[in-house]
Structure 1
Amino acid sequence: MARKKAANGNQANKKDRILLVDSEGTVITVADLPNRIPIFPVYQRPIFPGILTMVGADSMVSRWIRDQIREEKIIGLVMAKPNESDEEGEQRQIESASQLYRVGTVAYVLHWVELPDESCQFMLSTLKRFKVRRFHPDDQHYSAEVDYIEEAPPEMTEQLRASAAAIVSTLKELIPHNPTFSQEMHHLLSQVNLDEPIKLTDLAASMTNAKSKALQKILETQDIQERMEQTLLLLREEYDLSLLKEKISQKIDERLSKHQREFFLREQLREIKHELGLEQDRKQMELDRFRERFSELTLTEEAKERVIQELGRYEFMDDSSPESQIVHQYLDWIASLPWGVYSKDKLGISQAERVLNHDHYGLDDVKKRILEFIAVSKLRGGMRGGILCLVGPPGVGKTSLGKSIASALGREFYRFSVGGMSDENELKGHRRTYIGAMPGRLIQALRTTKTANPVIMLDELDKAGRSFRGDPYSVLLEVLDPEQNKDFLDHYLDLRFDLSNVLFVATANSLDTIPPVLIDRMEILRLSGYVIEEKLKIAQRHLIPKILPDHGLTEENLELPKETLKQLTVEYAREVGVRNLEKKLRSITRRVAMRVAKGDKKKVVILREQLHDFLGQPEYPEDAYKRLELPGVVRGLAWTPTGGSTLPIESIMLNGNSGEFKLTGQLGDVMKESSSIAHSYVQSLLREVPGKMQFFKKNTIHLHVPEGATPKDGPSAGIAMATSLLSLAIQQAVPASIAMTGELTLSGQVLPIGGVREKVVGAKLAGINTLIFPEANRSQFEELPAHLRKNLTIHFVKHFREVALLTLDYKLSC
């Protein structure tokens, strides 16, 4: 570089414009600027000409820069293009020249400082703009051939002068609102002349907090008027943003000042009232109130010690302390529980029987057990807690029966659902170390009922879940054990509470998902469902008298004859419960209510032929199997969680010599084994029958259980499958009025089955009046209510030859 020493009086060429004179007297002119310069990428914002700035570089970049400026201390500052995924100003490796803008600022390195980690801070004086003609890679760095952008002082027009004045005015407005740059702005305003718009614009733009893309656009703009307009726009945005920040801060300060002022005034008012004797100390009032509440309770020794301890802690806590609120809530929970508070039991058996019969029709077994429970309690002189579990299909009245039990005993009733509960802390509470901790549902029930001997219903017990938070069934093992629940320990209270006087009533649709050890702790009462006659009585005595007032109607507006109700039950609500029956009755009542609301006061009598006008087409049309009498078609009986039902079984013969036995109908493993037993047993029966010996060997037999989308399993369809195969082999149909159930052995023995009541109910709902049951189930059948056994012809069998004789009039020799 050609350097001219000012001290020696050397004069520069007239064409050279002086750009810089450093502290050593070195003069830098336009002619001294090289055409190829090292490129230093900047990331946060572009650097404008005419300012002093400090830039930092890591050890690798700083070594390369120092090597490049040994002779000529000139570098080029070029803005790196930001990626959309990068944050503003984030540094990254420059992998190609396309990541750099083409317009930058040339700078002279005044000096640098090397730091202990070998990185450097370079002090630069920026000189003028340049445009890159070509980048040259140098290992991981770049140099570039550049053209310097000449910017001659423009002619000062009125428009330029006005723009310059607007920039200066905006800067003056910014000074009070932007303390960060106030000193720099004061210096800028004292150094810049309005007749130097280029310098003014660059310095003003460099003082803003605008985004890098907007500043790069100003750097690249060559028209000075357009550059000034863009700078002025950024300054105005900066000014508006400063005003908004100041406004938000002012609002926050005002809000805090208001709260502080109110706090001081309240404290002063409290002190004044305290000095005048007009008001007691609030903390002392709370303590006195707690002591009064605790004195009225029969606390255990453990609870008394804990209360004394917590009251002592609370007395010396500051009211504003979060711990004070936690202790206050804890003491309030202890004081709200019914320690030693018991409701008086009603042990009148006649009164309890009237209440149960008034609320529910049927369910004689369950009512009998409840009355026995009351009778025992009466003889003992008091009632202890108990654990009952009502098991039955949906809609048979399990939940409402729990309310009736509480009403009959004169006890408070509390119900909560265990269905879907997967956190044991919901039952036992959360420990007080957690924010927002509360006692479990059992302690909450006692606080709500205000008595230590309520009836607590655990609804949907079979639908509780398990998760990493614990197993609710494990908690219930303690709760439902009379030997353990007298010392029930809630995590939140951390005090033992006696639950042995609570009567627990659980409900479930099935016992399959409940752990056996939990079932062992409960007394199981099964509600099997209702037959048509029972559903008619329930509709007449309970549902219709409840539904009519709910819809603003009386018996003068609507009448449903018995035949209509029976048709409604058979074709629209055939399930074993009454919930769907109630929905259909409500649907009819709404239609009638709409007529009455329109002014039609005439009484509506709905005949059975008119039901489809109110409810549409029947949901349970006549069973296709009810009258089907073909060889191989038999009706079995099945138990399901929703009640009993018939189980059609079909078998057909396919010509062929494979002797294959095919099964379809989504059968479970046990049911597949039953079909294999039936197949083998019937083959053994026919081995000595003339013409039938080769029936199963020469033909493919296909046995199917309809409703293939429904999984089926269990051994009780054994005799039905064997009857189907025998019927097919001898080509004789089984009467459609017969249904059967029983497990079959390879020797032809008929073993007992379960779900006798449910299967009888299912058969009656399907209109079947002749049943075949195992002899071992005779006693269970005879225990059924008389109205269930009415109009039924039932045969009890010990061996399959009796089944063959009853169904096919076929006498077997073995």
Structure 2
Amino acid sequence: MTEQNEKISQRTLPLIPLRGLTVFPYMVLHFDVGRERSINALEEAMVSDQMIFLSSQKEAETSSPGAEDVYEVGTISRIKQMLKLPGDNIRVLVEGISRGRVKQFVQEIPYFMVEVEEWEESDLPSEDPETEALMRSVIDAFEKYIEVSNKISPEIFMTITEIENPGRLADSIAANIILKPHQKQDILEAFESIERLEVLYRFLLEEIEILEIEKKINTRVKKQINKVQKEYYLREQMRAIQKELGEDEGVVEEVDQYRKQLKKIKLPKDLHQKIEREIDRLTKLPASSAETGVIRNYIDWVLNLPWHKETKDRLDLKRSAEILDEDHHGLEKVKERILEYLAIRQLSKSMKGPILCLVGPPGVGKTSIGKSVARSLDRKFVRMSLGGMRDEAEIRGHRRTYIGAIPGRIISSIRQAGTRNPVFLLDEIDKLANDFRGDPASALLEVLDPEQNNDFTDHFMEIPFNLSKVMFITTANTLDTIPRPLLDRMEVIRIPGYTEDEKLAIAEKYLLPKQIKDHGLQPENLKVSEKALREMINSYTRESGVRNLERQVANICRKVVRRIVEEDIKFVRVTPGNLKKYLGTPQFRYEMAAQKDEVGIARGLAWTVVGGDTISIEVTPMKGTGKLELTGRLGDVMKESARAGISYIRSRVELFGIDPDFHSKQDLHIHIPEGGTPKDGPSAGITMATAVISALAGIPVRKDVAMTGEITLRGRVLPIGGVKEKVLAARRAGIRKVLLPKDNEKDVEEIPENVRKKMEFVFVEHMDQVLEHALVQGEKDDH
């Protein structure tokens, strides 16, 4: 490669520092001068040979640059024209001549004067093939740059491509493209033409790549803007068309409102697109179309669901315990389980809501427990009754293909609550039904499964909704009618009936004050004695809960209010003596223990939906052919127990001293009084067997003994349920001794301590032990 630069002797020239501007040789441009030192330098140049040295500042922000703030390499230029502007500024037209390097600063005041080493390039074209190839590459890149940037006219390109000198070609292209100041300075400082071309080529390729990316971004943004403008234009057209047709002018505003609401709720992308399509359909359908109302109803439901809104749990165990105690007396197991759940929530925020199933007789407070739980957590409370529900659509909703379709009651209740984490009470789950319209119990399987309900899909909504934050509580009177798969998803908590003492405490603390307030009375207007309340509990109500007891208290309050108004009195006291005056004749009496030991009569214990009760089983043998007569509206289970008991007796006739042929010579009639009341269950087996043995053997049954348990053909005694209610019934009947299956020994712990102390419990495993305690030993009635 031939040397193209010729070194020339040094020159002393005034210097003007340029801000953000680089001047190349062969370049003509104008700029404004306003700083005092620069104006002085300009005047000095005009006085001499109009030559001046122009160099860029290292930092454009520097207002008073010194020698160290200016690049060493600059351009020796000739001033071609000066024009004074308003405000003491001067506009200067200059032409770049050649490169120069500052050797030293001669002076800085009143203007910069520098000693410059000038470099002058040859104007001859290049004869080197490598340089020629590089020049072609630079020209191609420059052409691509013009195509992408679209900011340089084709005339300039044609002029530049005619330049044959490599150095001048590089300077001309650098002067016409947009580069950063330090990039232009790098090109200016490349004194060798080949080096200058290489630096320029690198910068060109970088700029082309950036410009192409910028063009893509601009195209994409322009498309989006065009789409928005197009939609706006079309909507305005639609608005005008609807106005001309006299149709609803509010559809567009309504759709705009829907779109704003949709942006706020932040649904997942696929769900967002689905709702967006429905909104688009609404805009395309005529206002008179029947489907418009269906779509509008659907969009309203979706947008008004609490997708992300939830209340913050108040996790204060002490406060929660106080609220539960304030609202309910007793129910220790239920309160304990709820407080355990709250304690876990305090430590683990991710635990899914439990599915509690409260099982117990009517009126024990199952429904009100749900309200108390919601109050203790500061959550919203919603209740849904399942009693008699037989349509699956009640749970999952109707498909939108049906006229009048609406979401199921699960989604409706969530919307009513306004949060996605309420306490949700499903009442009377044991009373679900099913028919040709589907099985609601099966539909509830997904709702009540913590592993599945995080994406519960209603048929109407057709998009999943998260129910895992909901705390579900279900209630039932019995578990027998709840389908097993549904029961398996719930945690069962049994609520037994209240004892007499518990009912008394509830009446004194809750029912009486509540009814006094509801009837407009003051506490000093009415006083009901403890004995009167006990008489009401035993003689005017027969239930496990306190619902009827509350009605009787309300009955007293109504009559007291009337007396206060009519007789102008201030105080009424209700005692056992005047209770009949307010409530009338006692409605119930509990069957008391027999006055004497009797043959063929045994006392059993039964559980009913209104609590425990005692039943007398009477057996009378008669001459006949071995027929068995069962009366008293007995269910199939009790009939089977009677037959099993007789088969057991036939296998042990020698032991009991009974005629071995009694089954062929005698008829047996087994009767349970109160024939109008249906009776069934597996707990009367040993009672019936005892009564039959007593009747056939002529041995009296002890009057102070009651028993419960099922019997097998071999005489084994099987466990039963409802021990607490049955024992309380025996206590009310004046019985002191109760025979229970051995396997039920653990259940006695649930019985209040004050009752256990007054009762004797005998736990039996075989019928022989039952007879040992139930029959009067050593006595036989020859009758």
Distance 1:628 1:473, change over 3 A: farther
The SS at the match of 1:506 is strand
For the 8 Å contact 1:302–1:495, the answer to whether it is kept is no
8 Å CA contact 2:353–2:471 kept in 1: the answer is yes
Structure 1 contact 634–650 (Cα < 8 Å) conserved: yes
Say whether the 8 Å CA contact 2:593–2:735 is kept in structure 1.
no
Q: How does 1:173-192 map to 2 (within 5 A)?
A: none
In 2: Cα distance, 1:665 partner to 1:282 partner:
72
Query: The residue matched to 2:549 in structure 1 has which SS?
Result: helix
C-alpha distance after superposition, 1:617-670 (max 9, x if no partner): 11113526654642111111122333322222111233x253444322222333
**8 Å CA contact 2:385, 2:428 repeated in 1:** yes
Alpha-carbon distance between aligned partners in 2 of 1:453 and 1:788, rounded to the nearest angstrom: 42
CA distance in 2, matches of 1:510, 1:678: 27
Cα offset, 1:447, TM superposition: 0.7
Out of 718, 722, 738, the position equivalent to 1:755 is 722
Contact between 1:299 and 1:340, CA under 8 Å: does it hold in 2?
no
Counterpart mapping for 1:118-517 below 5 A: 282-517=250-485
Q: Deviations over 1:127-171 (max 9, x none)?
A: xxxxxxxxxxxxxxxxxxxxxxxxxxxxxxxxxxxxxxxxxxxxx
Aligned amino acid, residue 798 of structure 1: E
Tell me, yes or no, if the aligned pair for 1:625 and 1:736 is still in contact at 8 Å. Answer: yes
Q: What CA distance in whole angstroms lies between the structure 2 residues aligned with 1:405 and 1:510?
A: 22
Using a 3 Å threshold, how does the CA distance of structure 1 residues 618 and 292 change in structure 2: closer, same or farther?
same
Structure 2 residue matching 1:762: 3-state secondary structure: helix
Contact 1:476–1:518 (8 Å) recurs in 2? yes
Q: Is residue 592–residue 734 contact of structure 2 (8 Å, CA) maintained in 1?
A: no
Give yes or no for contact 1:801–1:811 (8 Å, CA) kept in 2: no
Partner of 2:180: none
What is the CA deviation profile of residues 697-753 of structure 1, one whole-angstrom value per residue up to 9, with x for unaligned ones? 654332212222333233321211122123324434333332111122233322212
Equivalent position SS for 1:609:
coil
In the alignment, what sits opposite 1:611?
579
Cα shift at 1:520: 0.9
Q: Structure 2 counterpart of 1:313, which letter?
A: R
Residue identity over aligned pairs, in percent, reads 46
Cα distance, 1:601–1:689 mapped onto 2, change above 3 Å: closer
Counterparts of 2:658 and 2:367 in 1: how far apart (Å)?
60
Separation in 1 of the partners of 2:643 and 2:589?
33
Task: Report the CA distance shift for 1:298/1:659 in structure 2 as closer, same or farther (over 3 A).
Answer: same
Q: Which runs of 5+ in 2 are unaligned?
A: 1-238
Name which of 642, 660, 667 aligns with 1:700: 667
Give the SS at the match of 1:556: helix
| 1:713 maps onto 2:683 in alignment | no
Match of 2:517 in 1: 549
Determine the C-alpha separation between the residues in 1 that align with 2:655 and 2:610: 44
Q: CA deviation at 1:763?
A: 2.8
Alignment of 1:17-32 (within 5 A): none
**1:96-134 per-position Cα deviation (integer Å, ceiling 9, x unaligned):** xxxxxxxxxxxxxxxxxxxxxxxxxxxxxxxxxxxxxxx
Whole-angstrom distance in 2 between the partners of 1:661 and 1:494: 61
What residue in structure 2 maps to residue 644 of structure 1? 612
Corresponding letter in the other structure for 1:749: R
Give the corresponding residue for 1:573: 541
Equivalence map 1:735-746=2 (5 Å): 735-746=702-713
Q: Note closer, same or farther for the CA distance 1:624–1:321 as it changes in structure 2 (3 Å cut).
A: same
Per the alignment, residue 782 of structure 1 pairs with 749
**How much does 1:795 deviate?**
1.1
Distance (Å, rounded) in 2 between the aligned partners of 1:749 and 1:783 = 25
CA distance in 2: counterparts of 1:628 and 1:551, whole angstroms: 48
Instruction: Provide Cα deviations, 1:520-548, integer angstroms capped at 9, x if missing partner.
Output: 11111111211111111111111111111
Secondary structure of the corresponding residue to residue 548 of structure 1: helix
TM-score under structure 1 normalisation?
A: 0.62
Give the drift of 1:497.
0.5
SS at match of 2:312: coil
Aligned to 2:551: 583
Q: Secondary structure at the match of 2:372?
A: helix
**Could you tell me whether the CA contact under 8 Å between 2:456 and 2:464 is conserved in 1?**
yes
Question: SS of the counterpart of 1:608?
Answer: coil
DSSP 3-state at the match of 1:390: strand
Q: Deviation digits for residues 266-316 of structure 1, max 9, x if unmatched?
A: xxxx989x99xxxx9633332332233233324233321122212222233
For the pair 1:671 / 2:632, whether they are aligned, the reply is: no
Moved more, 591-600 or 294-303: 294-303
Unaligned runs of 5+ in 1: 1-269
Letter of the 1:461 partner, please give it. I
Largest Rg, 1 or 2: 2
Q: Distance in 1 between matches of 2:442 and 2:702?
A: 51
How far residue 590 of structure 1 moved from its aligned partner, in angstroms, is 0.5
Give the Cα–Cα distance (whole angstroms) in 2 for the partners of residues 770 and 379 of structure 1.
48
Alignment partners' CA distance in 2, 1:788 and 1:424:
47
Aligned equivalent of 2:654: 687
Report SS of the residue matched to 1:308.
helix
Are the counterparts in 1 of residues 739 and 761 from structure 2 also a CA contact under 8 Å? Answer: yes
Q: Could you list the per-position Cα deviations for residues 659-692 of structure 1 after superposition, in whole angstroms to 9, with x for gaps in the alignment?
A: 4443222223332232123223334444256686
Task: Provide TM-score, normalisation by structure 2.
Answer: 0.65
Shift of 1:694: 6.3
Between the aligned partners of 1:790 and 1:546, the Cα distance in structure 2 is 33
- In 2, the alpha carbon distance for the partners of 1:303 and 1:510 equals 41
Q: What residue number does 2:215 align with?
A: none
Contact 2:358 2:474 in 1 (8 A): yes
The letter of the residue matching 2:749 is E
Counterpart-to-counterpart distance in 1, 2:521 and 2:259: 55
Q: 530, 537, 547: which one pairs with 1:562?
A: 530
Shift of 1:569: 0.5
Task: Measure, in 1, the Cα distance between the counterparts of 2:715 and 2:599.
Answer: 21
2:690 to 723, 734, 737: 723
Q: C-alpha deviations, 1:324-354, integer Å up to 9, x for none?
A: 3322222111111000112111222222211
Q: Alpha carbons of 1:287 and 1:691: their partners in 2 closer, same or farther (altered >3 Å)?
A: closer
Q: Do the aligned partners of 2:601 and 2:701 also contact (CA within 8 Å) in 1?
A: yes
- The 1:624/1:781 distance shift into structure 2, 3 A limit, reads closer
Name the amino acid aligned to 2:682.
P
Shift of 1:364: 1.3
Q: Specify whether residues 729 and 392 from structure 1 end up closer, same or farther in structure 2 by C-alpha distance, changes over 3 A only.
A: same
Q: Could you report, residue by residue, the CA deviation over 1:402-439 in whole angstroms, capped at 9, with x for unpaired residues?
A: 11121122211111111121211121111222222211
- Tell me, in whole angstroms, the C-alpha distance in 2 between the residues paired with 1:698 and 1:310: 84
Contact 2:738 2:762 in 1 (8 A): yes
The 1-side partners of 2:736 and 2:325 are apart by: 29
Moved more, 694-703 or 355-364: 694-703
Deviation at 1:399?
A: 1.0
CA RMSD of aligned residues (A): 2.7
Q: Which amino acid aligns with 1:346?
A: R
SS of the residue aligned with 2:599? coil
Matches of 2:593 and 2:761 in 1, distance apart?
20
2:80 paired residue number: none
- What number of residue pairs does the alignment pair up? 538
SS in 2 for 1:416: strand
Secondary structure of the structure 1 residue equivalent to 2:598 = coil
Q: 1:565 to 1:495 in 2, by over 3 A?
A: same
The equivalent residue for 2:490 is: 522
Q: CA deviation at 1:791?
A: 2.4
Cα pair distance change 1:776/1:319, threshold 3 Å: same
Alpha-carbon offset, residue 469 of structure 1: 1.4
Tell me the distance in 2 between the aligned counterparts of 1:321 and 1:696: 81
